[in-house]
Amino acid sequence: MSLENNLSFEIIYEDGHRLGKVNLGNRIENTPYILLNNKDYFQFGSMTIEKPLSHLVAETYKRGKYDLSSVPLVQIPFDLPIKEAKKLSSLNISIIKEEKGDCLSIYLTKYSEINQELFESIPKKSIYFFKRIADERILLDFYFKLKERYPSSIFFIDSKNYEIPIFLFLGFDLFLAEENNERFFNEYLSNPSPELVEMYSNGSVNSRRLLRILYKEFYNLFEVYLRREFKRSYYIDDISLDRPQVVRWKKEVERYYTPPTNIILLLPCSAKKPYRVSKSHTKIISFLKDTLKDKYSNLSQLILTSPLGVVPRELEDYADYDIPVTGHWNQEELDSLSGLLCSLIKKCNNPVVIAHFGENSPYLKAIEKLPFEIFYTHGSLEELKSIFDTNKVLWDKEPLNEYKTKAQKMFSFQFKKEFDLPFNYVERRKTTDLTFNKKIIGIFQNKIKVNVPGGELIKESLWVNIDFDLRGDIFSKGIISNSENIRPGDDVIVQRNNKCIGVGEAVVSGDMMKKLNRGKVVKIRARG
């Protein structure tokens, strides 16, 4: 019994991997899921799924009655010669147009033109079956494009062992209960993190190659499914340097952060986070405040670190990470750091750059490439003071308010838009109050959480637009328009008639919000 188009899939949570709820009639199952492998069908909880069938076999084979049927296609070996592959793929395309079924197998070839023709012919189905093929680029490219087109569909991958965490991280939903698949499946879901994915990628040459290609070549297609959560992260080896979250940090710091003044102080990082509570940074901050007095905030502090590259002082609360420190930087790291620094400093008119590093600091190799005059302290506070004294004319400006400056930079970075409003930032015991005109507009605890008055001030940032009374969460059908740079987990501003009427957390990216067939897209935290 086929119940084509009666199955629905709702995304509950997404951060690369996704948690979903499948509804078929009165039966509900959760994803990701390990399918039990029976002779002619897969067992998906209380549901049965017909196994992919050969088109030739299906004509003579008495097919069973299962909850979800499969379109019978001709199996195409990946490396089949192009003439035969094109002929068989054309046959499959004609079958797809005629045959009904809930599930569709994806038979990829090594020929891009054949794969493109297949892609253009694929209709909406409940489940797509993918097979692990030798060419990771072809597999990833096709998968991401199909997922973007049909985000409410379910994706199966026939893969094993060490690659299971990677494919979970990629957002695949269904796997087979074979060999050690269940072990790797459960271990990842008990602690879903890039660190675990990277660790397991060392299990085989193929899994390592798969992850490297994902990181190096598919950032733009993958990043949209990753949350911008500012929580403790661990970077374990060289592959971590290419982690999409790291690449995104660099891109967004470069785009959304501008040093508040043209006087730039470059500082080394510390093991303890946030940096300001470490011994080394406590000492330098105390010195700077004693020396500069009310002009302290007229100094732009940029902290150099691996793997994030540059962490501005105002954004240090967002950078909670740990990495084995060796003191050795490869050329790619140095070039990346130098490029990011250069981009940030170029935003300032007539920048004055001061480098506070010891003689043997590895950061010096990146700094020496900068096209600016640089004053070196050689790690000496006395030399730093001398530089300040020699350039007193630079400080002949109105002092900036430390808390207002920090709040502005935090808002601009998190909500992806430059703000020029005199926010206040007042630290409390466990949280930080964010105020405007003496009214609380939000709090900071790992990230900024605004209330409705705060949302009204920044309503042109990360937003969704609706045309109904806001009574609860927002579903995909209720959105008129939204900003595309929303990512899962982002705080978003809910607008109606150009007025903030609520704030909440995005469940999926902005690109996906209107493409989903069902499910929540924004969990409302506060209504006005």
32 within 8 A of 185, measured Cβ to Cβ? yes
Unique residue bearing structure tokens 């009165």: 26
| Amino acid at site 35 | L
Model-level pTM? Answer: 0.93
The 10s digit of each residue's pLDDT in 108-126 is: 999 999 999 999 999 999 9
164 within 8 A of 184, measured Cβ to Cβ? yes
Domains present along the chain, CATH in parentheses: 7-225 (3.20.20.105), 257-395 (3.40.50.10630), 417-527 (2.30.130.10)
379 within 8 A of 290, measured Cβ to Cβ? no
Burial of 292 (0-12, 13-18, 19+ CB in 10 A): middle
Give the integer Cα–Cα distance in Å for 228 and 160: 29
Do the strands 491-496 and 463-465 form a parallel or antiparallel pair, or are they unpaired? Answer: parallel
Give the integer Cα–Cα distance in Å for 115 and 95: 16
Kindly report the number of other CB atoms within 10 A of residue 276's CB atom: 16
The pLDDT value given to residue 1: 40
Tell me, what DSSP letter sits at residue 240? Answer: G
| Amino acid at site 272 | K
Burial of 496 (0-12, 13-18, 19+ CB in 10 A): middle
Which residues does 232 contact at the CB level (< 8 Å), separation at least 6?
320, 321, 322
495 within 8 A of 459, measured Cβ to Cβ? yes
Tokens found for residue 391:
């350039």
The pLDDT value given to residue 2: 42
502 within 8 A of 470, measured Cβ to Cβ? yes
Kindly report the number of other CB atoms within 10 A of residue 180's CB atom: 12
CA 217 to chain centre: 15
DSSP string for residues in 123-182: ---SEEEEE--S-HHHHHHHHHHHHHH-TTSEEEEE--GGGHHHHHHTT--EEE--TTHH
Closest-CA residue to 449 (of 459, 463, 434, 437) = 434
Give the integer Cα–Cα distance in Å for 298 and 301: 10
Listed as ranges, residues in the chain with pLDDT below 50 are 1-4
